[in-house]
Structure 1
């Protein structure tokens, strides 16, 4: 598989993942108690955590190079 194909598949996968991730974060955030501190903690962690699952996908798209 060529590098352009890998990057296209990775981009499509990342967009699909991010759409599902945003939907899940909003759905969970709606169920949290009304507290500024809980919102701050939850959305702060959720705002950082989205990148962790994408690291293997990006690595695969680049052909496993480091």
Structure 2
């Protein structure tokens, strides 16, 4: 089995996704910081989990070369 370019590309895409998502959420902290703590907790819990959603098709593509 020969290695493909999809795995290194996928790793780069994952790292870029994490960087972009963390910058986006950190830039919202000025607005979110004024909310009550239960709302802040909910916001950070949801945004901490939502970034994982695009990983399933990306990991599938890295392994098989197909998106579905």
Q: Calculate the TM-score normalised by the size of structure 2.
A: 0.80
Deviation at residue 29 of structure 1 after TM alignment = 2.6
Give 5+ residue unaligned stretches, structure 1: none
Partner of residue 51, structure 1: 52
The CA distance in 1 between the partners of 2:46 and 2:26, in whole Å, is 13
Partner of residue 5, structure 1: 5
Give 5+ residue unaligned stretches, structure 2: none
Compare relative contact order (CA 8 Å, sep 6+) and give the higher one, 1 or 2. Answer: 1
The count of residues paired between Structure 1 and Structure 2 equals 64
Give 1:18-29 correspondences, 5 Å limit.
18-29=18-29
Deviation at residue 15 of structure 1 after TM alignment = 0.3
Q: CA RMSD in A?
A: 1.8
Q: Calculate the TM-score normalised by the size of structure 1.
A: 0.83
- The structure 1 segments of at least 4 consecutive aligned residues displaced by more than 6 Å after TM superposition are none
